[in-house]
Structure 1
Amino acid sequence: MIQMLNLGHSGSTPSQGSESMPDQAASPSGERMSRERMRELRNLALEMQSLLGARWEVLDCLALGGMATILQLRHRIHKGLFVAKALRPELADRPEILRSFHAEARNASLVGGHPNAVPVFDVLDAGGLPVLLMPFIEGEDLDAFIQRHGPLSRIQTLQFATQISSLLCHAESYGISHGDLSPGNIRLDQFGRYRVLDFGLSRMQNNDDPYQPFSAGTPLYTSPEQLRGEAPDIRTDLYELGLVIVEVMTGKPLMQADSLKAIRQRHLDGISALPAAIEADAPLARLLRRMLARERSERLRGAAELSRALEQLGFQPQELMRPDAASTRRGRISTR
C-alpha cells in the first residue's frame, strides 16, 4: 500500500530547523499521521538529500509504501522535476527484494518509450540503496480525478481504454504484465494522456527468475488467479483493466464490499451482473464480461484482441484532450 504524503515543504528543501508541522496530518485516504511519524519522514528526506549529493534537491516525500519511499526531486542545474523511488533501508539486505526492485527498473525501462508509460532514466546508488529515477508527471491520479469530476462519458472511457490497451500491447511484446492496474496507479497528465505508474509487481513471462513477484495487487482490482497464488499474465491485466473501465464509467468500484474478506470472495465467485449503466450498452457489456471472466482461459487472449474489440465498438482515436478540458482549457496534442 502506498500512502500519499505532503510534508509541507512548499517547494523548498527540507530543513532541520523547520518545526512548523501540525501535531497530526491527514493523508488523502483520511488516515491521521502522528507528529512523530511526520518528523521521521522529514528526517528520511534529509538523509536522502545527503545521499543523492549536490546534483539533486529533495523537495518532498510524496508517498511511503511497504517497499519504497517516493521523493520529488529538482535538478539543481536545469531545474527539471523528477521522482525518485528509493528502496526502504530495512529491506536493502534482502536479495529477493533487491532482485525484484531491479526487475521493476528493467520492465519499466523496456516499456518506457511508449507514450502511456513513464520511463526510468537511471538506477542510482544512494549509500547502498537502489533508487529509480523517473520524470515527474504533472497531472492527477485517475481515482482522484473521478472523485472530483464524476464518471467519464462513453467516448472518454473508450479513449482511456484504447490508450491503456495500446500500452499493454507494447508490454506484451516484451512478455511483461503489470500485475497491479488500478485507478491509483494511472495518472491523467496535463495533455490528456493516461500514464501507467508503478511496475513494482510487474512480471516478465517465460523467465526462470524465482524471485519474480507473485503477490496480489490492490484488493479491489486483484484477479482471482492472484488470490489463488498463481502467477499473473497479460490476461490478469485485462481483468484489472476491465474493473477500472467499469469504475470510470460509473464512479464506483465494482467489487466494493464491507471487508477485505468479502472483496476477495467477490473476485473468486466471479461477476454475476454489471451495473445498469453498463448493461444498457450491450456491445460494451459483452466485452467487459469477457475481460472479467473468473477463469482467465475464458478472457480475451491478449491486449491486441482488446484493441481490435475496442475498434469494433466504433471508437476512432481522436485529438487528445483532458476530460475536463471544457472547463480548464488545458493543453492538447494530436494522435494523428
Structure 2
Amino acid sequence: MTSARAGAVGELVAGRYRLLAELGCGAMGSVWRAFDERLQRKVAVKQVVPADHGSADEIRERVLREGRIAARLQHPHAVAVFDVVEDDGTPVLVMEYLQARNLAEVLAERGRLPVPEAAQIGAEIAEALAAAHVAGIVHRDVKPGNVLLSEEGAKLTDFGIAHAVGDATITAAGVVAGTPTYLAPETVHGKRPAPGSDVFSLGATLYNAVEGVPPFGRDPENPYAVLFRIAAGELRPPELAGPLSPVLTAMLAPEPADRPTADEAATLLRVIADGQSLPEPAPRRRWLLATVAGGLAAAALLAYLVVDAPPAGTASPAAPPPPVVAPVLTAADRERAVSDYYALLPARAGEAWGRLTAQRRGEGQDGYRQYWAQVASLTVVSPPRADGEAVTVGLELLLADGTRVHEVHHVELQGLLLGADTLVTSERTAPAPPPPPPPSPVPAPPPVVVTEVRAPAVPVGPDVAHGKRLGHAKKP
C-alpha cells in the first residue's frame, strides 16, 4: 500500500485519491495535488508525519481527532478539510485544493505589505478565526506560513494539526519546536491556548507583514531568547503601520482579556482596509464594537464600551473543544533558562533584565544595572541543577577592585522567567596585596684610578756606556 510521502505520480492513496504532483514536503509531511476519483475533483492530500516522540498510535489518533474537528469548520476564509483517512497506518488529510502561495513566501519576496493590503488579509483571517472560536476550535498556530493567498482572498489552513503532531511552538513536553515568533505570552507561561491566543498570533503575523520583522524579533539559533522577550512583553512599538498601529497594539496586549475578540478585530481591520480612520479608544479591559450608523462612512461613529460579560457568540459551543495538554517545562528547560540568563552578564545586563519576572523587575532597574556595573566577569562554576520549579547554580564573580566572590543561588522560575533569588552561600576573597617594591640598588663604589709614576731617566755618557759594554767602569 502506498503513502503520500513515499508515493509517486499516478499512485492511489486510500483507494480513492490519485496523486498528481508533489506540492511540498516539510516537517509535518508531504502535500500532494491529487484527484478524488469518487467525486471527480481536485484535492490536496497531506500525509501527516509526527514531529515529536510520543506514541505513534497516540499521535495518529490525535491527528485524526483534530482533523475531524477541523472538518466541522466551513468558512470562505478557512481551507476546508474534506476527509480524514488512514493509509498504511499513516493519517492523511484530504483538503480543499488552492492555487495559492503562503504569506511567508510573499513576505520573503516583497519584504513588507502596504497597510490596506495587510489589513484586508487580516480581516479575512480574523473572520475565519471568529467562526472557528464559535465552533469551539482554537487554531493554536496562526503564522504567515499557514495563511494562503489566492485569487479568492486569504485562507487559513492547518487548524489544530500542528499541535496534534507536536509541531506547535512548544510541545506538550515543553520543548521548543521551530520558531516561537508568533506565540502568545500566556502560552509561553504554560497556560492553555484560548481564542485570545489566536488573536495575539494574528496580530504578530500582521505586524510582521507591515513592519518587515516580527514584533519580538527572530533568533533561529536560540528560540528561547524569543520566548523570553515575549514573556517579558518586550514589544517594539510599530513604526510603519500607520493607522493599523492601535489595532496591532490592542491585538498584542499581554493580557488576553485586554485584546479584542477575533470578531471585533475583523471589524477594526475592515475599517482600516477600507481606508477609514478609527477614533481614539478610551481605556478599557475588553473591547466591544458597535456600529451606530449604517454605511462605511459610519466608521467614525464606532463606540468602545467596557463590558465584563463574554462577547456575544462565545457561549459554550455545542461540542466541547478538543483537550489540550498545557506545555510543561522540563528540568532541562529550566536549567537552560538560568544558564542563558547568566551568560548575558555582566556585559548585557539590559537584555538579562528582560528575563526577570515582573515582580523582580519591580525592584528597580537602576539598582540592578549599578550592581552589575561593578562586576568585571562572571563564571558559572557549578552548572544549574533543577529541583522542582527552582534551579540551584554556583557562580564566581570577579569585581572591578579584584575581589572574588563565590556564591550559590537558589532561583525560582515562573515559566522561563527568573523570579525570587535566594543567596544560599557567599564567600569573598580579597584581592592579593601588591608585591613589595624591589630593594633599592646599592650604589657602586667610585672607580679606582691607578696612576703609574716613573722616575725620570738619567742620561748616560758615551764612556759609561762603553764601559758597561766592556763589563767594567772607567777608572777615575
CA distance in structure 2 between the aligned counterparts of 1:224 and 1:89, rounded to whole angstroms: 25
Which runs of 5 or more residues in structure 2 are unaligned? 165-170, 277-476
CA distance in structure 2 between the aligned counterparts of 1:213 and 1:110, rounded to whole angstroms: 28
The two structures have a TM-score, normalised by structure 1, of 0.67
Contact kept, 8 Å, 1:139 with 1:187, in 2: the verdict is yes
Deviation sequence 1:11-47 (CA, Å, 0-9, x none): xxx9xxxxxxxxxxxxxxxxxxxxxxxxxx9981249
In the other structure, the counterpart of 2:269 is 310
In the other structure, the counterpart of 2:187 is 226
In the other structure, the counterpart of 2:18 is 56
Cα deviation, residue 89, structure 1: 8.5
In the other structure, the counterpart of 2:132 is 171
Contact kept, 8 Å, 1:92 with 1:98, in 2: the verdict is no
In the other structure, the counterpart of 2:226 is 263
Deviation sequence 1:193-219 (CA, Å, 0-9, x none): 11111121469xxxxxxx999987741
Give the aligned residue type for 1:137: L
CA distance in structure 2 between the aligned counterparts of 1:72 and 1:224, rounded to whole angstroms: 37
1:247 aligns with 2:208: yes
When residues 256 and 58 of structure 1 are mapped into structure 2, their CA distance, relative to the original with a 3 A threshold, is same
The structure in which a higher percent of residues are helix is 1
CA distance in structure 2 between the aligned counterparts of 1:316 and 1:241, rounded to whole angstroms: 20
Give the aligned residue type for 2:256: R
The two structures have a TM-score, normalised by structure 2, of 0.49
Contact kept, 8 Å, 1:45 with 1:61, in 2: the verdict is no
Cα deviation, residue 286, structure 1: 2.2
Deviation sequence 1:86-108 (CA, Å, 0-9, x none): 23399896343123212321232
When residues 126 and 262 of structure 1 are mapped into structure 2, their CA distance, relative to the original with a 3 A threshold, is same
Secondary structure at the residue paired with 2:142? coil
Contact kept, 8 Å, 2:120 with 2:269, in 1: the verdict is no
Cα deviation, residue 180, structure 1: 0.4
In the other structure, the counterpart of 1:190 is 151
Range with greater deviation from structure 2 (135-144 or 45-54): 45-54
1:138 aligns with 2:138: no
CA distance in structure 2 between the aligned counterparts of 1:274 and 1:81, rounded to whole angstroms: 44
In the other structure, the counterpart of 2:90 is 129
Contact kept, 8 Å, 2:83 with 2:93, in 1: the verdict is yes
In the other structure, the counterpart of 1:98 is 60
CA distance in structure 1 between the aligned counterparts of 2:235 and 2:263, rounded to whole angstroms: 26
CA distance in structure 1 between the aligned counterparts of 2:125 and 2:13, rounded to whole angstroms: 36
Cα deviation, residue 127, structure 1: 2.3
When residues 269 and 53 of structure 1 are mapped into structure 2, their CA distance, relative to the original with a 3 A threshold, is same
Which runs of 5 or more residues in structure 1 are unaligned? 1-13, 15-40, 204-210, 318-336
Give the aligned residue type for 1:243: A
1:274 aligns with 2:241: no
CA distance in structure 2 between the aligned counterparts of 1:268 and 1:48, rounded to whole angstroms: 49
Deviation sequence 1:42-69 (CA, Å, 0-9, x none): 9812499365347513522621325x43
Secondary structure at the residue paired with 1:171? helix
In the other structure, the counterpart of 2:244 is 284
In the other structure, the counterpart of 2:349 is none
In the other structure, the counterpart of 2:80 is 119
In the other structure, the counterpart of 2:329 is none
1:237 aligns with 2:198: yes
Give the aligned residue type for 1:270: G
Contact kept, 8 Å, 1:214 with 1:230, in 2: the verdict is no
Contact kept, 8 Å, 1:216 with 1:226, in 2: the verdict is no
CA distance in structure 2 between the aligned counterparts of 1:107 and 1:95, rounded to whole angstroms: 18
Cα deviation, residue 297, structure 1: 2.7
CA distance in structure 2 between the aligned counterparts of 1:71 and 1:92, rounded to whole angstroms: 26
Give the aligned residue type for 1:261: Y
Count of residues paired in the alignment: 264
Whose relative contact order is higher, 1 or 2, with alpha carbons under 8 Å and at least 6 apart?
1
Contact kept, 8 Å, 1:75 with 1:81, in 2: the verdict is yes
Give the aligned residue type for 1:297: A
CA distance in structure 2 between the aligned counterparts of 1:118 and 1:54, rounded to whole angstroms: 21
1:65 aligns with 2:8: no
CA distance in structure 1 between the aligned counterparts of 2:135 and 2:190, rounded to whole angstroms: 23
CA distance in structure 2 between the aligned counterparts of 1:176 and 1:78, rounded to whole angstroms: 28
Cα deviation, residue 232, structure 1: 0.5
Cα deviation, residue 304, structure 1: 1.9
Range with greater deviation from structure 2 (163-172 or 55-64): 55-64
Percent of aligned positions with the same letter in both sequences?
25
When residues 50 and 307 of structure 1 are mapped into structure 2, their CA distance, relative to the original with a 3 A threshold, is closer
CA distance in structure 2 between the aligned counterparts of 1:63 and 1:118, rounded to whole angstroms: 18
The one of 65, 69, 83 equivalent to 1:107 is: 69
CA distance in structure 2 between the aligned counterparts of 1:115 and 1:256, rounded to whole angstroms: 32
Max Rg structure: 2
1:44 aligns with 2:6: yes
Contact kept, 8 Å, 2:104 with 2:144, in 1: the verdict is yes
Contact kept, 8 Å, 1:121 with 1:133, in 2: the verdict is yes
Secondary structure at the residue paired with 1:165? helix
Contact kept, 8 Å, 1:216 with 1:222, in 2: the verdict is no
Contact kept, 8 Å, 2:4 with 2:13, in 1: the verdict is no
